[in-house]
Structure 1
Amino acid sequence: MIQRCDWATTGSELLCDYHDNEWGEKNEDERAVFEMLSLEIMQAGLNWDLVLKKRQAFREAFDGFEIEKVAVYDSTKVEELRHDEAIIRNQRKILAIINNAQAASKLKAEGTGLAEFVWQLADNKVIVNNWKHAEQVPSKTPFSQEVAVRLQKKGFKFVGPTIVYSFLQAIGVIDDHLSYCSFKK
């Protein structure tokens, strides 16, 4: 019998599929890592199930999260996004995603991409936690605080330690599958 982390059993089939096939899997693809950071920003204050339901609309609205395309969005594009009922239309979050595309572009120009930058901070190793209960999983750690500060110094916005912790889980830097979860590595 397949067992899943508690959070993956309380929403839609999309949530379950995300848990089983994506969350916690090592991801070093630049576009995909930028997408996950952007989605985590959109999720702040909301629930992940809602973001997953809107994921395809986000991909369409943000040009597939192609960093170089998002980095050059202008005020006209911002207004278009603010009026797109298929996505979360929070202006601060939209502007942060555009800003972060610009920051990721600068990182690339300096010789490293966002994915490589984040993975280097973890010494290219997965941090494996062995939590037995969902209540034990923190919302932030000293490491997520360090990564948040480093991202902020590189010009990224809306990247506090809690959003960064969720982002690190999403791209597999941190393996927080519960100890009983069938998907624990």
Structure 2
Amino acid sequence: MDKHRCGWCVGDDLYESYHDKEWGVPVKNDAILFEFLILETFQAGLSWITILRKRENFRKAFDQFDYKKIATYDESKIQELLQNKGIIRNNLKVRATVTNALSFMKIQEEFGSFSSYIWGFINGNPIKNAIKNHKEAPAQTQLSNTISKDLKKRGFKFVGSTVVYAHMQATGMVNDHEVDCFRYNEV
């Protein structure tokens, strides 16, 4: 018998694999948190599956999401990225990635790690919601509003409340798996 999955991923092998192995798993590793933050910023206005399909291209283009390298990107590197057909070639989002890498490292300096900072908003404990159907999951919450405002105050770009909430879902800060999903109690 097939496992019950959240409705948003059913029918696409890449989506199902991402759902089964990554989505909603608590992430405390700064490098992975940065990767998801960048992918979520590029997703703004687009579908997540579009980003997932280009994920490996993003990894290659952005030096495996090495924020220390990204923070040093100059105009010629930015122009190179804007010519890369394998990624989303949005000028503002590419430039925001460099800005966000710099802001990310400032948070690390202040808090010891980005993980300490972001997970500090929930005292290190994931929020476990009781979603019956994925369509009931919120796009944003008061908490994602608060985090978004704080990130913007710290210089981040493309981190609106919806982007932040998607980041929280992806990195397991909030468990929005459907209650009947086999991953609900696993994560």
Which position in structure 1 is the counterpart of 2:130? 130
Letter in 2 for 1:91: N
Which position in structure 2 is the counterpart of 1:114? 114
Q: Tell whether 2:44 aligns with 1:44.
A: yes
Q: Tell whether 2:76 aligns with 1:76.
A: yes
CA distance in structure 1 between the aligned counterparts of 2:34 and 2:58, rounded to whole angstroms: 12
How far did residue 49 of structure 1 move?
1.0
TM-score, normalised via structure 1 length: 0.96
Matches within 5 A, 1:50-69: 50-69=50-69
> Aligned residue pairs: how many?
184
CA distance in structure 2 between the aligned counterparts of 1:81 and 1:114, rounded to whole angstroms: 25
Which position in structure 1 is the counterpart of 2:150? 150
For residues 119-154 of structure 1, give each alpha carbon's deviation from its aligned partner in whole angstroms, at most 9, with x where no partner exists. Answer: 111110000000112221110000100111111121
Letter in 2 for 1:176: D
CA distance in structure 2 between the aligned counterparts of 1:184 and 1:124, rounded to whole angstroms: 18
CA distance in structure 2 between the aligned counterparts of 1:132 and 1:108, rounded to whole angstroms: 37
Letter in 2 for 1:5: C
How far did residue 110 of structure 1 move?
2.2
SS of aligned partner of 1:155: coil
Which position in structure 2 is the counterpart of 1:5? 6
Which position in structure 1 is the counterpart of 2:165? 165
CA distance in structure 2 between the aligned counterparts of 1:106 and 1:135, rounded to whole angstroms: 36
Could you list the runs of 5+ residues in structure 1 that have no partner in the other structure? none
CA distance in structure 1 between the aligned counterparts of 2:107 and 2:162, rounded to whole angstroms: 22
CA distance in structure 2 between the aligned counterparts of 1:176 and 1:127, rounded to whole angstroms: 9
CA distance in structure 1 between the aligned counterparts of 2:136 and 2:109, rounded to whole angstroms: 40
Which position in structure 2 is the counterpart of 1:98? 98
CA distance in structure 2 between the aligned counterparts of 1:131 and 1:111, rounded to whole angstroms: 33
Identity over aligned pairs, percent = 38
Runs of 4+ in structure 1 deviating by more than 6 angstroms, as ranges, are none
Letter in 1 for 2:80: E
The answer on whether the counterparts of 2:5 and 2:183 sit within 8 Å (CA) in structure 1 is yes
Could you list the runs of 5+ residues in structure 2 that have no partner in the other structure? none
Letter in 2 for 1:96: A
Alignment RMSD (CA, Å)? 1.0
CA distance in structure 2 between the aligned counterparts of 1:114 and 1:55, rounded to whole angstroms: 22
